Amino acid sequence: MRIRITPPESIEASIQLPSSKSISNRALIIHALGNGNHPLDNLSDCDDTQVMIRALQAQSGETIDIMAAGTAMRFLTAYLSVTPGNHIITGTQRMQQRPIQILVNALRELGANIEYLANEGFPPLRIQGTIMKKDHISLPGNVSSQYISALLMIAPSLANGLTLTLTGDIISRPYINLTLQLMKDFGAQATWTREHELKVEPQPYRSRAFYVESDWSAASYWYQIAALSSKATITLPGLFANSSQGDCKVADIFRSLGVETVHEGQTVTLHKKGEITKRLDYNFINQPDLAQTLVVTCALMNIPFRFSGLQSLKIKETDRMAALICEMRKLGYILQESEGSILSWEGERCERSSEAIDTYEDHRMAMAFAPACLVMDDIRINHPQVVTKSYPRYWEDLQEAEFIIKEEE
């Protein structure tokens, strides 16, 4: 399937964003560990969260297929390790190529019973739930924050709690802090005790009613649309000004690209106004999911950039750095990769290709490139359905903002 996108002359819209996938998935795990009987309201309707809901309902002995949901694979591997029963957890072919050995090794060190069923270090896994008594573990701070969050969330269920030491540089600290905040919301005692050490007490979670806020990473595409438009006013309800989501930093980043953010209660309104920077250098170590959006935006605004802290992009749904280089070349922009963690553009151009944008089974590739239609004619996206992973109504919301979307053969 392929679509062609045509923009409106100006943007004036109110968009109900999807609920935060990051908060939904963490709340579901915590709720299950605490045997919660209060409802979780406004859960995300994205693929990843629906996979998580189904997996948490699985009976002992069932095989759990999390498809392409990397967050679910990591969180559930830890959850099943402390939950009575015997399960096999698997996923798509791509998921079976995504490493999980660091998390499995950490869980085994704590006492988990986990077996690889195919290739060492990769799913599928057989997990036998057990009581884990060891209370201290050390991990490199530059591993995926989802490994760290997975260990933290099960820690109140461990016999003696957990002290987690992180060595070296810590990446994606906001995601760790988001996990800690949600744990505290449900009654856990979890905190940083030193710059590189976290401690969680062995104390059961408390059941409570909980409302999931809207997704700041989904908001980033509307910031992008505002920045690339000649005139735009976009209202986004459900975003908290004091959000624990690391991606709320998008408001600060896009201020330098001419987008003003106005907070009123739990609603954000975006206006296209203000000065635009002549260059943008930024370290995405704490907001890696915003990188694709900013790469496309800056290039199309003719703003040279150097974006660092991108090492985790290589192990996402696809190698996002390689995908960005390839697809931006189709639009006529030559990006440079260096040190395995930096993407830069210094204004170098090439002839634009007539090919459609490929999405690599990656929701963020589709959503980051779609707004290019505001600057370039004939923007076509292959396999647009990939957006269901995090933002199922993305195309419908574009149509609500009067973009024209046509399917092609």
Beta bridge partners of residue 65, listed in sequence order: 90
Q: How far apart are CA 353 and CA 357, in angstroms?
A: 10
Look at residue 254 in the predicted model and tell me its pLDDT: 98
Q: Which of 152, 185, 210 is the last residue of a domain?
A: 210
Conformational region of residue 393, where left means phi above 0, alpha means psi within -120 to 50, and beta covers everything else:
alpha
Query: How much is the pTM?
Result: 0.84
**CB-CB contact of 302 with 348 (8 Å):** no
Look at residue 183 in the predicted model and tell me its pLDDT: 98
Local confidence band at 115 (pLDDT 50, 70, 90 cut-offs) = very high
Query: Does residue 168 share a domain with residue 33?
Result: yes
Query: Does residue 179 share a domain with residue 222?
Result: no
Query: Does residue 258 share a domain with residue 123?
Result: no
Q: Which tens digit of pLDDT belongs to each residue from 232-246?
A: 999 999 999 889 899
Query: Does residue 169 share a domain with residue 217?
Result: no
Average pLDDT, the chain: 95
Look at residue 395 in the predicted model and tell me its pLDDT: 98
Beta bridge partners of residue 364, listed in sequence order: none
Residue ranges making up the domain that contains 234: 2-18+213-408
Residues 64-93 have a mean pLDDT of: 95
Query: Does residue 226 share a domain with residue 87?
Result: no
Look at residue 340 in the predicted model and tell me its pLDDT: 87
Q: Which tens digit of pLDDT belongs to each residue from 343-373?
A: 999 999 999 999 999 999 999 999 999 999 9
Of 170, 328, 321, 298, the residue nearest 246 (C-alpha):
170
Query: Does residue 219 share a domain with residue 75?
Result: no
Q: Per-residue pLDDT for 41 more than 90?
A: yes
Q: How far apart are CA 244 and CA 36, in angstroms?
A: 22
Residues 81-99 have a mean pLDDT of: 94
Q: Which tens digit of pLDDT belongs to each residue from 5-20?
A: 999 999 999 999 999 9
Work out the angle at residue 126's Cα, subtended by the Cα atoms of residues 120 and 127, and round it to the nearest 5 degrees.
115
Q: How far apart are CA 26 and CA 180, in angstroms?
A: 10
Q: How far apart are CA 317 and CA 363, in angstroms?
A: 8
Look at residue 397 in the predicted model and tell me its pLDDT: 98
* 2, 35, 183 from 168: Cα distances, Å: 44, 36, 25
Q: Which of 167, 192, 210 is the last residue of a domain?
A: 210
Q: How far apart are CA 107 and CA 114, in angstroms?
A: 8
Query: Does residue 186 share a domain with residue 206?
Result: yes
* 163, 264, 292, 359 from 237: Cα distances, Å: 38, 9, 24, 28
Which 8-state DSSP code applies to residue 214? Answer: B
Query: Does residue 404 share a domain with residue 376?
Result: yes
Look at residue 241 in the predicted model and tell me its pLDDT: 87
Q: Per-residue pLDDT for 336 more than 80?
A: yes
Higher pLDDT, 124 or 285: 124
The total number of structural domains that make up the chain: 2
Work out the angle at residue 256's Cα, subtended by the Cα atoms of residues 254 and 257, and round it to the nearest 5 degrees.
60
Residues 150-162 have a mean pLDDT of: 97
Local confidence band at 195 (pLDDT 50, 70, 90 cut-offs) = very high
Local confidence band at 99 (pLDDT 50, 70, 90 cut-offs) = very high
Q: Which of 186, 210, 234 is the last residue of a domain?
A: 210
Known active-site residue 289: yes
3-state secondary structure of 98: coil
Full strand arrangement of the beta sheet holding 190-194 = 136-140, 162-167, 197-200, 190-194
**CB-CB contact of 199 with 190 (8 Å):** yes
Neighbours of 84 (CB within 10 A): 10
Q: How far apart are CA 254 and CA 297, in angstroms?
A: 10
Q: How far apart are CA 368 and CA 379, in angstroms?
A: 12
From 215, 289, 362, 397, active-site residue? 289
Q: Per-residue pLDDT for 42 more than 80?
A: yes
**CB-CB contact of 404 with 20 (8 Å):** no
Provide the b/e sequence for 368-393 (b: ≥16 CB within 10 Å).
Answer: bbbbbbbbeeebbbbbbebbbbbbbb
Q: The CATH number of the domain where 176 resides is what?
A: 3.65.10.10
Look at residue 274 in the predicted model and tell me its pLDDT: 78
Neighbours of 405 (CB within 10 A): 16
Q: Which tens digit of pLDDT belongs to each residue from 264-322?
A: 999 999 999 878 999 999 999 889 899 999 999 999 999 999 999 998 877 777 789 99
**CB-CB contact of 33 with 157 (8 Å):** yes
Of 258, 217, 248, 243, the residue nearest 368 (C-alpha):
217
Local confidence band at 129 (pLDDT 50, 70, 90 cut-offs) = very high
Query: Does residue 352 share a domain with residue 385?
Result: yes
Query: Does residue 248 share a domain with residue 190?
Result: no
- In a 13 Å sphere around the CA of 376, the CA atoms on its Cβ side amount to 24
Query: Does residue 379 share a domain with residue 336?
Result: yes
Question: What is the sign of the dihedral through the CA atoms of 270, 275, 276 and 281?
Answer: negative
Residues 189-209 have a mean pLDDT of: 95
Query: Does residue 317 share a domain with residue 184?
Result: no
